[in-house]
Chain A
Amino acid sequence: EADIYQTPRYLVIGTGKKITLECSQTMGHDKMYWYQQDPGMELHLIHYSYGVNSTEKGDLSSESTVSRIRTEHFPLTLESARPSHTSQYLCASSDRSDREYTDTQYFGPGTRLTVL
C-alpha cells in the first residue's frame, strides 16, 4: 500500500468559507494529481503537478487552486466554498517508469466535502 495521506477525511462546511484540502506523500514522487469524483461516478482530473513550482489545470474546470512548494505536499484550496463543490476529492501521486514510459498512480483515501 502506498504512503499517500489526505486530511481531513470528511469536511462539512458552510457556504462562503475558505478551505484547504491537504495531500502528502512520502514516496518522493514527482507527479501529483487532484481528482473530483461523485459517488460511483467517473474520475475528473482537476489539477496536476509534475514537480515543485509546476502546476497545471486538468480536464475539468475547477474554481479551486493548488500549489506545489515541496515535493511531498500538494494542497488544494477553495477560496469560497459553494454547495456545487460538494463531492469527493482524491489526491494521487506517481513516479515515472523510464522502462515503459508510464507510471502507476497511487491514490489517497480521499476527502468527502459537503458544503451546506
Chain B
Amino acid sequence: GQQVMQIPQYQHVQEGEDFTTYCNSSTTLSNIQWYKQRPGGHPVFLIQLVKSGEVKKQKRLTFQFGEAKKNSSLHITATQTTDVGTYFCRADSWGKFQFGAGTQVVVTP
C-alpha cells in the first residue's frame, strides 16, 4: 500500500532562518495538499498542488510538487514565531488519500 513519509519529524528553527520540510510517497500521486495545525488547534488547509513540477507561493511559504509527482516540499523563509505548529502533507491517489505524520516546527526567538 501507499506509504507517506514526512521529514524531518521535528524542526527547531531560529527566528529569521529558513527551513524545508519534505513529504515523500512510495507511489505516484494525483495531487498533494498541505495543512497547518497550530498548537492546541485543528488542521487548516494551506494549499494544493496538482501538476508535475508545480511551484506555488504564499508569502514566505513556497510549496513544490516533484517532477515525478511522488514528493513535495514546503520551504519557509525568514521563519517567524507565527510559523510554529505541525505541518501535514496529504498525499492523494485518485480518490484515496493518506496524511503524513507531520513535521512539528518549533521557533526560538
Residues of A within 8 A of B (CB): 40-43, 45, 59, 90, 92, 100-102, 104-110
- Asked if B72 is an interface residue, CB under 8 A from chain A, the answer is no
- Asked if B48 is an interface residue, CB under 8 A from chain A, the answer is yes
Residues of chain A lying within 8 A (CB to CB) of residue B50: 100, 102
**SS of A interface (majority):** loop
Given contact pairs A40-B104, A42-B99, A42-B100, A102 touches B45 in the complex (Cβ within 8 A)? no
Given contact pairs A101-B94, A102-B50, A104-B48, A42 touches B101 in the complex (Cβ within 8 A)? yes
Residues of chain B lying within 8 A (CB to CB) of residue A110: 42
Residues of chain B lying within 8 A (CB to CB) of residue A43: 43, 88, 99, 102
In the bound assembly, the distance between CA atoms of A67 and B90 in angstroms comes to 25
Residues of chain B lying within 8 A (CB to CB) of residue A45: 99
Q: In whole Å, how far is A99's beta carbon from the nearest beta carbon of chain B? A: 10
14 further interface pairs, Cβ-Cβ under 8 Å (given A92-B43, A101-B94, A102-B33): A40-B39, A40-B86, A40-B104, A42-B100, A42-B102, A43-B43, A43-B102, A101-B31, A102-B30, A102-B31, A104-B45, A105-B43, A107-B43, A109-B42
Interface residues of B, CB < 8 Å — how many? 24
- Report whether B92 and A102 are in contact in the complex, using a CB–CB cutoff of 8 Å: yes
- Report whether B33 and A104 are in contact in the complex, using a CB–CB cutoff of 8 Å: yes
- Report whether B45 and A105 are in contact in the complex, using a CB–CB cutoff of 8 Å: yes
In the bound assembly, the distance between CA atoms of A106 and B45 in angstroms comes to 7
In the bound assembly, the distance between CA atoms of A90 and B88 in angstroms comes to 15
